[in-house]
Amino acid sequence: MASEQPNQRRHVLPPDWRKVAWDALLILLSPLLLIYLLGRLVRGKSLQGLRERLGFVPLAARNLDRPDEPLIWIHACSAGEVGATEPIIRELHQAEPHAHVVLSTITPTGRQVAQTRKLEVEALLYFPLDFPGISERVLDALRPRVVVVAETELWPNFFAAAAQRGIPVCTVNGRLSDQSFPRYRLFRRLTRWILGHLEFICVQSELDAQRFLALGADPDQVNIVGNSKFDESFPHVPPEGAAKWRQDLGFTQEQPILVAASTHPREEELVLACYERLRATHPDLGLLIAPRHPERGDAIATLIGEYGYGCRRRSTQAAGGEPAVAAPDARVQVALLDTIGELGEVYSIATVVFMGGSLVNIGGHNFLQPMALHRPVIFGPHMHNFRDLTGMALREGAALQVANPEELCETVDRLLNFEADRQLLAVKAEALLARNTGAARKMVDRIVDLLERTL
């Protein structure tokens, strides 16, 4: 018997003052959005995905939901969330081989990561703006059976439109950072109403659970299952693969290499200053900088030249051009990985990894990939976006944290001098990874149960 499509199961919901207030606020703020978009055009910035964000669904994502082939919509805001959905998508295909999966992102970088990793999804799209009418248009076009939202994406209009259509929404890898929690708490009555639309919330830790409960989530909604980032398919790079990366990036097969990963503005300068100091005692030390946003490559290449180094750019090499740009009297070439999707393998050449976004107040980035390749990891004091991972790694001695650039230099110097210290970090990191797998399977069990209730 054919099942009724989700957009035919309309629920007549009484008007809610919180939705009315939210919509009124959005309408009042809409001129600011227009000014922002015009500003991006004037500055030559990309408006990539704007058409989809306004509710125009790509053809590849339409008409996928069928009685025996349900559509599951997964939303992951940016690159980090996309990576964490990879094991969830893999487990979903094993549990529901006939299901179709579409993935939405908000940032172009997130979309590029999804394309580079070749995730098993039927279509990629940009998440709609949370304006009245837009969410409804997209849900009616896609007709998903279930919507899965990663981490902390709370969209009042979207959730309300899904509820009106009888489409269950759930959250996986749920977390509330030290910065976002106080902001949500200021609007607790609105947040409680938004959370009420969720079928369940799979959170990463006890602290996240307590924070969701403090915002008004029902205790029956909240489940502590861990973090699917531990279940990612981390790259396996054989020795010959690492040797090829060294050659391509201009390093010898013997020299030690400091990899500064996912760096942000002002951080590259701190790393280069540290590198200057380290070369006094480690003259053969190589440096690779991999910025979080590769489009900053030109500015970073200029900065590298100001330090008197040549810059070997991966983006130029990948495009078939001359990778090395000589600087006057260049003493050494610093490699710049200004591409997307290659850093996971490039970690294999690192002697020491510094994880960026942590010396400046960004909140840090995911450091599990270099750990999986048995590379020692150092990060700075600002790791609040990865509070739980950071706490686990530090408690178990699987990573090192420094307070400032001075300590970074000292710690890198010590690790370069003592191979036993590097090996101990690698062993403890491997144990940490092994003990924390399985969260993706638990999340998928809940999703499948939710899906079966819609059939």
Reported as a single tens digit per residue, the pLDDT across 175-219 is: 998 888 999 999 898 899 999 999 999 999 999 999 999 999 999
**Residues 36-55 pLDDT 10s:** 666 665 565 556 788 899 89
In 260-358, where does DSSP find H-type helix?
A: 267-278, 297-306, 314-318, 343-346
Contact 449, 145 (CB under 8 A): no
Query: pLDDT tier at 1 (50, 70, 90 boundaries)?
Result: very low
pLDDT of residue 65: 82
Closest CA to 338 of 289, 265, 272: 289
Torsion sign (Cα): 343, 44, 26, 185: positive
Q: Is the dihedral of CA 428, 430, 431, 437 positive or negative?
A: positive
pLDDT tens track for 101-110: 999 999 888 8
| Per-residue pLDDT reduced to its tens digit, 123-174 | 999 999 998 889 999 999 999 999 999 998 899 999 999 999 999 999 999 9
* Residue range 302-325, pLDDT digits in tens: 999 999 999 999 998 766 665 555
pLDDT at site 330? 46
Domain boundaries, the chain: 46-227+437-452, 239-435
Q: Give the single-character DSSP code of 49.
A: T
Catalytic residues: 81
**Would you identify the CATH topology of the domain 46-227+437-452?**
Rossmann fold (3.40.50)
14 pLDDT band (50/70/90 cuts)? low
Q: What pLDDT does 3 receive?
A: 39
pTM for the model stands at 0.85
Q: What is the mean pLDDT of residues 21-32?
A: 78
Pinpoint the alpha helices (H) of 118-200: 134-142, 156-164, 180-186, 188-195
What's the mean pLDDT in 256-279?
Answer: 97
So what's the pLDDT on residue 132? 83
- Of 234, 265, 86, 65, the C-alpha closest to 166 is 65
State residue 241's pLDDT score. 96
Q: Is the pLDDT of residue 329 over 60?
A: no
Out of 29-33, 69-73, 87-91, least confident range = 29-33
CATH number assigned to the domain with residue range 239-435, chosen from the 4 options 3.40.109.10, 3.40.50.970, 3.40.50.2000, 3.30.950.10 = 3.40.50.2000
Mean pLDDT over the full length of the chain: 90
284: which residues sit within 8 A by CB, 6+ positions away? Answer: 252, 254, 255, 256
